[in-house]
Structure formats: C-alpha cells, structure tokens
C-alpha cells in the first residue's frame, strides 16, 4: 500500500539510494510510475507493506516503510534491492554504491568517490560547513533532521581537519 512519504510516522524505516548523476525530467516521470507500482505491490510474507517514496534533487530515491503496520522481512528487502538493481540497469545509473559521497556546491549536487572526498577535505576544498548527505540515517525522523547537514555534524567529519 502506497502512502504519501510525508504522512509516514517518524519511526518509519528509510532507505536512501543516491544516483551518480541527475535523472532527467522524463526519467523522473517514469521512476514515479515504477516506484508507485513497486510499492503498491510490496509485501512481507503476503502482507502488504505501507510505504512511500520521494525523489529529491533529481538524484536521491528515498523509500520509507511504516513498520508499525508490518515490518520488512529478508524477502521483502531482497525484493526492494532487486527493484533498485533493475532501475540501475534500465537507466544506466549507480544507486547502490555506498562508497561515494554527495554534497552541495552552491545549489549543485556533487558526487565523488570517498577517496576523492577525503583528498578534497585534506586539500580544504570541502570544509566542516560543506552540506553533505548522510545516507546512513535509518528512520524518517533521522532523515528529516540529519540527512542534509554540515559535514561537521555527520560521519563525514572524520575526514576534516
């Protein structure tokens, strides 16, 4: 069962998939349809799951699951990963590589390997005030409060001097 992402409870589990490039407007229209179809049919041991999604900055797919009604199981999580892998293949985009960093450069969203980000921090090309995306947040409340934050308030801080 699909819900508006904003209507999901604060304790809902979230998964964030960052793309290595921006999606086009046409791709976003297609992604909206595909995500709605997937989430409408997403189940755990035959029970429907209450989930919602957002596509943010044309680059991040955020899926939220209300675990108060039904929790995700290994099989349902596997189904979501297979769905994301299918999107990767269909749109020739990387969504599952967690060893990359996205951050803001003005209004632009930059995407670098962790190695490159570490080097940029060493060279002071990014700072503690650089807005980064903490894709390790686990709940909707954490997403709202701690997803888009200065690097000093995220795990990225370990690379800053």
User: What would the pLDDT profile of 123-137 be if each residue is shown by its tens digit?
Assistant: 999 999 999 999 999
Residues across the chain: 161
Half-sphere exposure of 117 (CA within 13 A, CB side): 25
**Residue 153: C-alpha distances to residues 54, 99, 158 (Å):** 23, 19, 10
Instruction: Write out the chain's pLDDT in tens, 161 residues.
Output: 899 999 999 999 999 999 999 999 999 999 999 999 999 999 888 888 999 999 999 999 999 999 988 888 888 899 999 999 999 999 999 999 888 999 999 889 999 999 999 999 999 999 999 999 999 999 999 999 999 999 999 999 888 86
Give me 97's structure tokens.
Answer: 């590589």
User: How many other C-beta atoms are found inside a 10 Å radius of the C-beta of residue 101?
Assistant: 28
Spatial CA neighbour of 96 closest among 131, 61, 65 = 61
Domains of the chain by residue range: 5-91, 100-159
């Amino acid at each position: 069962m699909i819900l508006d992402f904003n209507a999901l409870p604060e304790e809902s589990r979230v998964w964030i998939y960052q793309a290595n490039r921006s999606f086009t407007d046409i791709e976003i229209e297609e992604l909206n349809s595909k995500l709605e179809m997937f989430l409408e049919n997403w189940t755990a041991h035959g029970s429907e799951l209450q989930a919602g999604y957002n596509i943010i900055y044309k680059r991040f797919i955020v899926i939220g699951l209300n675990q108060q009604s039904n929790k995700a199981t290994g099989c349902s999580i596997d189904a979501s990963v297979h769905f994301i892998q299918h999107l990767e293949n269909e749109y020739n985009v990387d969504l599952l590589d967690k060893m990359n960093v996205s951050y803001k450069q003005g209004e632009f969203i930059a995407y670098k390997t962790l190695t490159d980000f570490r080097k940029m921090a060493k060279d002071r090309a990014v700072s503690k005030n650089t807005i980064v995306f903490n894709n390790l947040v686990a709940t909707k409340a954490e997403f709202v409060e701690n997803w888009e934050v200065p690097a000093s308030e995220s795990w990225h801080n370990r690379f800053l001097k």
